[in-house]
């Protein structure tokens, strides 16, 4: 029988305050979602549960575990980096 241990995350008051501030007020919805996921994990939910039911739309659990890994290694900066989107590139062919 394999025992799977839930990953735990403990936040300081300052770390929690930063995450909540970005969760509630960041202009980028990706940052708000990532911060919300980390706060829920710190509150005791499993990353797998957060991925499946804890966000506005279900995410692959590997995605949420990736956010958790980056937060543990880089802090808030890890959640703010590598965002999708940005300025659209348009191909301009010769006419």
- pTM, rounded to two decimals: 0.84
Would you say residue 12 lies in a domain?
no
Environment class of 51 (CB within 10 Å of its CB; exposed 0-12, middle 13-18, buried 19+): buried
DSSP 8-state secondary structure symbol assigned to residue 55: S
pLDDT of residue 89: 56
77 in a structural domain: yes
Number of domains in the chain: 1
Residue 9 lies in a domain: no
pLDDT average per 10 residues of sequence, the chain (95 residues): 85 97 96 97 96 96 96 95 68 58
**Domain interval for residue 60:** 33-81
Residue 4: what pLDDT?
A: 76
Angle between helices 29-42 and 61-74 (to 10 degrees): 80
Cα–Cα distance measured from residue 77 to residue 95, given in angstroms and rounded to the nearest whole number = 43
Burial class (CB within 10 angstroms; exposed 0-12, middle 13-18, buried 19+) of 90: exposed
Q: Which residues have a Cβ under 8 Å from the Cβ of 22 and sit 6 or more positions away?
A: 31, 32, 35, 76, 79, 80
Give CA separation, 40 vs 17, 45, 90, in Å: 13, 6, 39
Query: What is the per-residue pLDDT for 92?
Result: 58
Residue 88 lies in a domain: no
């Amino acid at each position: 029988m394999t025992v799977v241990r839930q990953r735990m995350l403990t936040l300081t008051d300052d770390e929690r305050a930063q995450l909540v501030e970005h969760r509630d007020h960041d202009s980028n919805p990706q940052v708000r979602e990532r911060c919300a996921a980390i706060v829920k994990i710190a509150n005791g939910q499993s990353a797998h549960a957060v991925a499946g039911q804890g966000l506005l739309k279900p995410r692959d659990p590997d995605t949420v575990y990736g956010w958790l890994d980056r937060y543990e290694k880089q802090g808030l900066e890890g959640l703010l980096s590598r965002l999708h989107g940005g300025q659209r590139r348009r191909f301009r062919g010769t006419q």
